[in-house]
Structure 1
Amino acid sequence: MIKYIAYCRKSTDEKEKQVLSIESQIAELKEFATKEKLQIVCFLTESRTAKTLGRPVFEEVIQKIEKGEANAILSWHPDRLARNSVDGGKIVYLLDTGKLIDLKFPTFWFDNTPQGKFMLSIAFGQSKYYVDNLSENVKRGNRQKLRKGILPNKAPYGYINEPRLRTIEVDPIKSRIVKKAFELFAEGESSIADISRFFQKFGITKYSGKMLHLDTVKRILSNKFYIGIINFGSEIYEGTHKLFLPPELFSKVQKIIKAREHPKNNKHNFTFLGLAKCSECGCSITAEVKHKCYPKTRGNVDYIYYRCTKKKTHCGQIYLREELLEQQLRAIVAKSSLPDSWAKLWLERLNKEGTEEKANSENQITKFSSEVQKIDKKLDRLLEGYLDQIVDPQIYQQKKNELVELKIKFKGKMAGISKNGSEWLGLMREFIEVAADAAKIARAKHNGEELSFFAKGLLFK
C-alpha cells in the first residue's frame, strides 16, 4: 500500500500570509487526494526557504521515508520540495533506492520511470535556476540603485521609501523628531537612554511599542546616511537623497559620542586623569579605587580617590574624592563660559562678516570643485583597473571608500563655504558656540568624559 506524506511549504515569515498560503495548499492537497484516492498518513508544513539546506520539517519527511513510515510524498509542486541541488538529489536518490515509490503533484506530472525522474530533475533544476537568477537580479538592481545614490534597503528613521518612484524621501513628521533628537543630544545634557525615551514619546519605537534598544539609538545617531553617505556591505557610496540634518550638527554629535566612549582595554577608566599635576611637588596625579563595606546599610561601595604619586620627593598633599574634584572642574568650566549676550553679539558680527565673505569665496569653491573632478577621474581609473583585473578587489574597495569619503568631504566644504563664507568663520562660530555651551556642560549630569575633555582644553592652554 502506498502511504503519502503531504508536505506544504511557504518561504516567508509573515504569519498572516503564511497561514493563508499553507491552508490553501492543504485544502488543495486534500481535494486532490480524495479525487485520486490517496492515503495520507500525515501533513507536514513549514515556513522556510528551500534555497538553502537545513529545513527541519523537510528533513523529518526524509527520515520518515527512510524509516519506512511512508513511501510516497504529496506536494503542490516540485519547487515546494527543493530549490537546491542537494535536497533535489535526496529525493531522486530515494526514488533510485526504492524507499520512495511515488510522488504526486496537482500541478506537475510524475511517473516513477527513467523519463519521469529525468523530468523531475529538470523541474528541480528550473527551481534552482529561478532562485539563482532572482538573487542575481536583486544584486544587479541593488548595484544600479547604489550607482544612482539610492539606498536599496529600508529607509532609516526620518525617511520613507517611496514605492512609486522607488526612491527614499524625507518623512515630513519623523524627520523633525530625528533632527530634534540630534539637537538634544548635541546639547550634551542627554544620554542615549534619554534619546530613546524621547523617541518613544513621539512614536519612534519598536514594532511592539517598546523603547528602541540603546544600541539602535546609537546607530541612528552615528548613521552617516544623514549626511549623504551610504554604507552598503563593505563599500561607501555618495547618496543623492535630500538631507534634513546639518553636517555640523551631525559632527558635533559624533564628538560627544566619542568623548563618552570608554576605552575597553583599561581595567579602570578614571575620567579625570591627565588633567593636572601636583601644585606642591609637580608630580603626576594618579587615581585608585577603594572598597568599603557597610554591612547594615549600603553593602559594598567603591570610591575613587585622586592623589599625588609622590615620586620625586616628600609631598604633604592628601587624597581627594572624585566627587570633590568634579565639583572643582565644573566650577572652572563654568567660569570659562561665554555669556549669552556676548555670544549673541559675536555671532551677529560673524554673520555680517559672512555676508561679505560670500562674495570672495568663489576661489575656494573652484579649488574644491577641481579636487572633486580629480577624484572622479581617479575613481574612473580605479574602476578600469579593477575591471581589467589589474587591481585586487580588496584594494579596489579600500581605495574607492577612501576616495568617496574624500569627495563627500570636499563637497561638504563647498556647501559650507556657500552657506557660511570662508572656513575661518565656521571655526570661529564653532569656538563661540562651544564657549557658550560651557555653562551647560558644567551644569549637566553624568557627562564626566565631556567635562574632562572640555577642562583639558582649558587647563593646557
Structure 2
Amino acid sequence: MSNQEKPTRVAIYVRVSTEEQAEQGYSIDAQLDTLRKHCLYSEKVIFHEYVDRGISGKSMEKRLELQQMLKDAEKNSFDEVLVWKLNRLARNTIDLLQMVEVLEKHNVAFSSFSEKFDTSTPMGKFTLQMMASVGEFERNTIVENVKMGLKQRARTGKHNGKVPLGYRAVKDANNVSNHHESNVEIIEAEAAIVTKIFERFAAGRGFKSIANELNHEGYVTKPGGAFSISGVKEILDNPFYAGKVRYCRFENWSDKRRKGRNPKPDIFEGLHPAIISEELWNKVRYLRNMKSVVALKRFDGEFLLTWLIRCPQCGGPMVANRIQNRQKDGSKITRLYYSCSNFRNKGSKVCSANSIRKQEAEQYVIERIKEVLALPQMLRGIVKNINERKTKRIKPLQQELDHLLSKITELEGKKQKYFDLYEADGLAREMFSKRLDDINGELDRLHVKKSELAFELKDDNSQPVSYEVVRSLLDKFDKLLESSSFDQRKTLMHLVIKQITVRDTRTIDQIQMNFDVNTVQHFLAADPSATHAGGSFAVHMKRGIQGQSISVVI
C-alpha cells in the first residue's frame, strides 16, 4: 500500500445467541480473534468492534450494537463491514439484503470472512442472495424438524413446555435414555382452585365474578399474581385439565403472536392425570360456545383517551365505562366515564373504579394544549425543565457506563488469571470450565447493559431542545386535532400522548407527550401543506428533532 493511499476503515460486527455460545467456533472471542487477524493481514484499520452478546439474530429489535453500526454507516464513519459469517448479521434473506442495501447506499462494502464474495459485482450479489437463501432454508428445516418432534410428543400424550396451574413437572428417574424427560403430577392445592373455576362457571357465574371472588379469597395464579378475566378464560379453555394435550394452538407465534391463533388445534389423549371430569369439561365447553356468539357490549360515544389515562391508585390504564341511572320519572340516563381497567378486569380486591368523567377529561386535555400555546412564558418554563432534566440525566448514565467498563476490565483480568492457572496445571479442568462459564455469563450480561447505555448516550437525546421546536410541535398537534376526523384524532392522541396522570381528586394532573421522527412524518403526511420547503414547521423539524426524541410534560 502506497503512502498516499488511506487504509480501509473496517467495522467488525459479531453476534452470538445464548443457545449458540456452547457451540464450537461460535464464541464472541473466537469471532473477534479471527476477524482481527484478517484485518491485520489485509492491512485494514479497525474502526470499531460492534458486539451483540447473547442475542438472537431473528430481529433487530434488541440488537443495539447493530443499530448503532447502521447509524455510524450513515455518517460514513467506516468503509467496510466485516462479519465472521452471513448469519451473524441476519437470519433471513430479506433482512440481510435490506441491510446490505443500506450499507451500499452509503458506499460501505460488506464482506464475510467465511464466505467469499464481492457485492460490488452482479455475480457477487447473486452469490450473496443464494447463500442467504440457503442459510434461511437450513434454519427453516431445523424449525420444521423441531415442530415434528413436538407434535410427536403431543401425539404420544406427552406435554410440551410449562405445565399450567394445578400441575408440576418432575424428572423421570426411570428414564435412563433421556435425563430431560419428566412426568406430570397434580398439585392438590392448585387443583382445588381449578375445580372452583370450572364448577362456578358451570353454575352460571361470569368471568369477572369468578376472578373477583378468587382474588378476595386470597388465591393467586401460577406466577403469583391476581386472577383476571383473561386468566379465567385461559383455564376454562385448556383441555389439559381434562387429561388431554393440545398442540399448535398458535401458528408462527414469534411473528403473528395471538393473531396466529389456530381455530382447530390438534388434541390428543394425555399421559397425565385429569383434574376435572369429562362431563364437567363438556358442560363448560357448551356454555363457552353459547356465550361466544353473544354480541359484545358496545359503548355509546367516542372515547379518545382509552388506555392513556392512568389510574391514580394502581397506575394501570383506564378504559371506557358506561353507567346507567334511572331518573325519578322512570327514564334512564347514561353517563360515560374512564374507569380503572384492573378494577373492571380483576375486581375490587385489586383496585377501585376511580372513574373520571369522559367529557371533562377530554376537554381538559385539549384546552390544556391551547392554554400552554397561549402563554409563551409557561411554554418557555416547560422547555427549560426539559433541558435541565436532560442535563441531569446524562451524568448518572455516564457514571454507570464507566463503572461497567471498569467491571468488564476486572473480569477480563480474572479470566486471564484462570487461563494462566490452568495452563500451569494449577487448576482442574472441571473447576476451570465452571469458573470460565460463570465469568463469561457475567461478561455477557455486562456487555448487553453496556450496549444499552452507550446506545442511549449516543442517541442525541442529550442535545438541548429549542423553544421554537416545541411550540411548532404543539401548534401543529393542536391544529390537526381541530381539523381531523374522530379516528384521526384518536390516532394522533395515541401517537403523541404517552400517558395522562390523575390526582386523588379525580382531576387530571399531567399530560406526558412524546414527539419523535415518526410523529413528525405522521404530521407531514396528515397535512400536505406542511411539506413545503419554505414552511416554518418543516424548517424547524429539520433543525430540531432529526435523530432525537422530545418528551414534553404539560
TM-score computed with the length of structure 1 as normaliser: 0.43
Report 1 or 2 for greater relative contact order, CA contacts < 8 Å, sequence distance ≥ 6: 1
Query: Higher Cα Rg: structure 1 or 2?
Result: 1
